[in-house]
Amino acid sequence: MTRTATVEALSACEQVSVVYGEGPARVVALEHVDLEIRPVDSLALLGRSGSGKTTLLHVLGGLVEPTEGLVRWRDRPLASLDQAARAGVRARGIAYVFQGANLLPHFTAFENVAFAAELAHAGVAPEMLLELVGLGAKLDHLPAELSGGEAQRVAVARALAQEPELLLCDEPTGHLDSDTGERVLDLIGALQAEFGFALVVATHAADVAARYERELELEDGVVVRTEEPQ
């Protein structure tokens, strides 16, 4: 993918720091992070547990406000939007896939996806998305009736129901065995190629990070390495 300076960033962090607590309890989760996410980007956030990966995902998605610095969405400061508007950005422009599927337990697979589509005011058909992730035969299954991999595929379909421009994945294979995890990552990659959203995946695994076009490595909230395509 050719990159030029004229391509507008979907999301950007400018010298972003996030600090929790005060005095002896003070924890610096992120420190002076700069990052741009462009359309159709493919980026891995690599780091050990506690390195700041999840905090950075939450900052990009507007779930956490930075203590210092600026976060932009389509060149507009995210902090300038009120809470309802930020929720709207997340509902329509940004979607999440978490480490656990986090499905609504009393909703079927179809209902979980349909609920996300309704919140985002999206016109996509839930059954079509579940067909795409290989679960067309399990529309009426509750989360407890699905395997871990199936539940995570429902979570992917739920995220796509929001018609995102940016998909944020936080250790999406963390609760899965290696074979199932590989299949979930393959699925997310295939769906990105089909739908053209930007993708950011947080992971502790170097082999997972190597799948993606760009890498940013975090350690104790600080960017210690960046790798861009040649």
DSSP 154-167: HHHHHHHTT--SEE
We find that the CATH architecture of domain 39-65+81-215+222-227 is 3-Layer(aba) Sandwich (3.40)
DSSP 3-state of 19: strand
pLDDT category of residue 179 using cuts at 50, 70 and 90: very high
pLDDT category of residue 4 using cuts at 50, 70 and 90: very low
32-65 pLDDT tens trace: 999 999 999 999 999 999 999 999 999 998 889 9
| 83 vs 44: CA distance, rounded Å | 28
Higher pLDDT, 113 or 119: 113
Across the chain, mean pLDDT equals: 90
Amino acid at 105: P
Q: State what percent of residues in the chain have pLDDT above 90.
A: 77
146-166 pLDDT tens trace: 999 999 999 999 999 999 999
- pLDDT, average across residues 176-200: 95
Cβ atoms of residues 172 and 152 within 8 Å: yes
pTM: predicted TM-score of the whole model, two decimal places: 0.90
Position of tokens 């905090």? 55
- pLDDT, average across residues 8-13: 90
Determine whether 141 is exposed, middle or buried from the number of CB atoms within 10 Å of its CB (0-12, 13-18, 19+).
middle
Q: Could you tell me which residues come within 8 angstroms of residue 75 by beta carbon, excluding any fewer than 6 positions away? A: 8, 9, 12
- Beta partners for 203? 46
pLDDT category of residue 3 using cuts at 50, 70 and 90: very low
61-84 pLDDT tens trace: 888 999 999 999 888 887 655 555
Instruction: Kindly state the DSSP code that residue 74 receives in the 8-state scheme.
Output: T
* Lowest pLDDT segment from 106-110, 138-142, 173-177: 173-177
Domain boundaries, the chain: 39-65+81-215+222-227
pLDDT category of residue 230 using cuts at 50, 70 and 90: low
Query: Quick one: which of 75, 66, 72, 73 has its CA closest to 30?
Result: 66
Higher pLDDT, 19 or 84: 19
Position of tokens 């294979």? 173
| 12 vs 71: CA distance, rounded Å | 6
Q: DSSP per residue over 82-104, as a string?
A: -HHHHHHHHHHTEEEE-SS----
Query: Quick one: which of 189, 168, 175, 181 has its CA closest to 99?
Result: 175
pLDDT category of residue 95 using cuts at 50, 70 and 90: very high
